[in-house]
Amino acid sequence: MKNKILITVFIITLFLSGCKSKGQDNRVPLAEYYSTPYPESTAEYAYDEIYSGSQEMPVSKSVSVLPQSDGVERKIVKNASITIEVIDPIQALNQINSMAVQYGGYVVNSTNGQRYYQSEALLPYGETTIRVSAEYLDEALQAIESLTTDVEKHVSSKTITGKDITSDYVDSQSRLSSLEATRKKLYEIMDTAETAEETLAVFHEISDIESQIEILKGQIKFMDESAALSSIYVIINPIPPEKIIETHDWAIKPILNNAVQLLIDFGQLLAEILTYFVIAVLPFIVVIGLPIFFIVRAVRKKNKRKEKINTEVSDLLKHE
């Protein structure tokens, strides 16, 4: 009897090891769906309408669970991103956060502040991430767009994405059913155990299975909530104020007055310069400059006389 129980436990252990190695590749990471407001890779999207931009954007149906195909209930995780421009970003931010509760969800995070824009003005802005019931995703997006004065002009971008998690969901449910059946069998074996060694061996396997069951239940619950609630990431920018061009009345009379005044100012400045020159500069030129002028003139005359005498002497010597 002892050997039979141990062999049974050994076979179950091998079976569970195989399930673990297979399930590790298929296990859905919990952070995969919440790490960003919407999926980044479009390779795995299973959504009939994926689009961005604000021009002629189609409106798709917000259904997180698609009709059954081959008896399998399709589960789609859908998220959205939108950038809008409004007159009062702070008021729009508060209204969007209120929409989260209105559409069966909640606010994930919200922030607001001020920054400079192209007009070099310090203007407020806001950012928020909300979750709403997937069936109200399109309605919530339309309500956010209605906060702008012109949808085509002031909705800078809009993106809706979807990811099919049906295979992960079905695989998790299948492994959960298998583990629960195995746990039930192990409890039956533990009831027939005759020694403490047999009981501990079975108990160890039951504990391992229960840990895996709790993890799978958490993943299944997470996938249900992800398919039921859609995330909307909203950037709220202000509408930049238009630059005002100021114009002034034009008249010839003020221009002539300014020109005459400029001429008078220039004449006054010239007269001041001449006055300073005659009173402050000219006496120094007369006192210092005239003696220097006469000295230089006398020296030049003396040199000319000397040169003339030398020339006459040279001519007389040549004739002799």
Q: Please provide the DSSP assignment of 13-81 as one string.
A: HHHHHHHHHHHHHHPPPGGGTTSSSS-S-STTB--S--B-SSSS-------SEEEEETTEEEEEEEEEE
On whether both 117 and 224 belong to a single domain, the answer is yes
Q: Give me 312's structure tokens.
A: 């006459």
Worst-scoring range by mean pLDDT, 47-56, 108-117, 308-317?
47-56
Q: Does residue 258 carry a pLDDT above 70?
A: yes
On whether both 46 and 91 belong to a single domain, the answer is yes
On whether both 260 and 231 belong to a single domain, the answer is no
Cα dihedral 294/298/300/304 (nearest 10): 150
The model carries a pTM of: 0.53
Structural domain tally of the chain?
2
Q: Does residue 46 carry a pLDDT above 60?
A: no
pLDDT of residue 255: 83
On whether both 136 and 263 belong to a single domain, the answer is no
Rounded Cα distance between 179 and 23, Å, is: 12
Rounded to 5 degrees, what are φ and ψ at 275? -60, -50
pLDDT digits (tens, 9 = 90+) for 77-128: 999 999 999 999 999 999 999 999 999 999 999 999 888 776 567 888 999 9
On whether both 174 and 271 belong to a single domain, the answer is no
- Contact (CB, 8 A) for 179 and 213: yes
Q: Give me 113's structure tokens.
A: 């502040």
Domain assignment of residue 160, given as a range: 36-185+211-238
pLDDT digits (tens, 9 = 90+) for 181-191: 988 888 888 88
Helices (H), strands (E): how many in the chain? 9, 6
On whether both 170 and 269 belong to a single domain, the answer is no
Q: Which position has the higher pLDDT, 136 or 284? A: 136
- For 250, the 3-state DSSP assignment is coil
Burial label, 84 (beta-carbon count in 10 A; 0-12, 13-18, 19+): buried
- Contact (CB, 8 A) for 223 and 168: yes
Cα dihedral 229/137/65/59 (nearest 10): -160
On whether both 277 and 228 belong to a single domain, the answer is no
Rounded Cα distance between 314 and 194, Å, is: 157
Residue 290: alpha-carbon gap to chain centroid: 82
